[in-house]
Amino acid sequence: MSVLATSDLTKRYGDELVVDHLNLSIAAGDLYGFLGPNGAGKSTTIRMALGLVFPDGGSVEVGGHSVFSSSEARSRALSRVGALVEEPAFWGYLSGRRNLEYFARAGGNKVDRRARLDDIDEVLRQVGLADAAAKRVKAYSQGMRQRLGIGRALLGHPDLLVLDEPTNGLDPQGMKEVRALLRRLADNGTTVFVSSHLLGEVEAMCDRVGVLVAGKLVAEGPPGHLVDEPDRVRVDVDDRRHALDVLRVVPGISLDELEARSGGGPGPIKVGLANGATPAGVNAALVSAGIGVSALVPEHARLEDVFLTLTEGE
């Protein structure tokens, strides 16, 4: 069952179509990366998922409950959701602990409120703010606010975490800790929906990625297989010219034209594989022609390259 699902979700601001018939389905335990250039509609989608912005069409379901059919359904849908929406915001005149306490008390049923209140100490420890909990939030650094924002989202062990740029303002150590925390939560069954501009971070952390461009989902899948492109291998050989001559006649193999015209001697060759061609076949062809192969490394396009290709022109 999907923990978060949108169906033909659409939002306009005036004449501008911000989210265009978006269909998402996030399964329980997924760590899902939501990517897109600025203005692609990510934040609007997140706000609709949290019931903050009303769609012009389509629907959103969280935990099987519609976010927009009635206020009771919305309450049920959002009761097991923790969120960090764009920058974290707090009542600056209150301490970190009081902020968590008052947000915990503010909504939901008695059981959920109790669970969130009981969780405050653990969450403060988890995000490394146990020692700063008594300080007023207006004295916090941006990184501390970000940690507190993540802490607020974690209160009560939500089934779904919706996090918009969760590592903003964190130092490298903090970013690493948050990545590990989110991975751990997902491994323990929490569904995590995370929007981030840091593609390397998303690639390292997420099980699945969706790319939104101009309000439309243009690609979705595991970070290494976002687009349907041929597999590639890098082959390190002792005689490039000879190797290129051999590979040109092997079925299903493609070579970079510039590379194919380059000189001989030892070095790497990038080989595209299609129509049943395999790394083992490449190796066999080269070895049987007497060419020494010192390395054969499968290569996938990096998420950043794929993202830039998908969002070109935006």
Partner 1 sequence: MLAVEMAKAAHRWWTWVMAAAFIAIPVLIVTALLLSTDRPEPGEGPPFLTLVQVNGVFASLVGITTIQPFFLPLAAGLLAGDAIAGESQAGTLRYLLARPVGRTRLVVAKYASVMILVGGAVVLVGLTGLAVGGAAYGLGPLPTLSGATLPVGVALARVVLAGMYVTAGMAGLVAIGLFISTLTDSGPGATVATVGIYIVMQILGALSALRIIHPYLLSHYSLAFTGLFRSPVALDEVMTGLVAYASYVAVFLGGAVAVFRRKDVTS
Among positions 52, 139, 274, 308, the unique one binding partner 1 when judged by CB under 8 A: 52
152 makes contact with partner 1 (CB under 8 A)? yes
**Minimum distance from residue 50 beta carbon to partner 1 (Å):** 4
For partner 1, which is the closer residue by CB, 37 or 51? 51
140 makes contact with partner 1 (CB under 8 A)? no
194 makes contact with partner 1 (CB under 8 A)? no
Touching partner 1, residues 254-313 (CB under 8 A)? none
Q: What are phi and psi of 284, to 5 degrees?
A: -60, -45
Per-position DSSP letters for 50-75, written without gaps between them: TTSS--SEEEEEETTEESSS-HHHHH
Q: Which one of 50-58, 252-260, 284-292, 304-312 is the stretch in contact with partner 1 (CB under 8 A)? A: 50-58
60 makes contact with partner 1 (CB under 8 A)? no
19 makes contact with partner 1 (CB under 8 A)? no
81 makes contact with partner 1 (CB under 8 A)? yes
Among positions 16, 64, 89, 295, the unique one binding partner 1 when judged by CB under 8 A: 89
Q: Name which of 126, 122, 152, 125 is nearest 137 in CA terms.
A: 152
The contacts of residue 74 (CB under 8 Å, 6+ apart) are 51, 65, 66, 67, 68
Q: Name which of 273, 264, 269, 277 is nearest 296 in CA terms.
A: 269
For partner 1, which is the closer residue by CB, 77 or 235? 77
98 makes contact with partner 1 (CB under 8 A)? yes
83 makes contact with partner 1 (CB under 8 A)? yes
Q: Which one of 22-30, 102-110, 125-133, 230-238 is the stretch in contact with partner 1 (CB under 8 A)? A: 102-110
Task: Note whether 46 and 162 are within 8 A (CB).
Answer: yes
Interatomic CA distance for residues 301 and 250, integer angstroms: 23
Query: How many helices (H) and strands (E) in the chain?
Result: 12, 14
When computed from its CA atoms, the radius of gyration of the chain, rounded to whole angstroms, is: 24
3-state SS class at 121: helix
Footprint of partner 1 (CB under 8 A):
47, 50-54, 71, 74-75, 78-79, 81, 83, 85-94, 98, 102-103, 105-108, 152
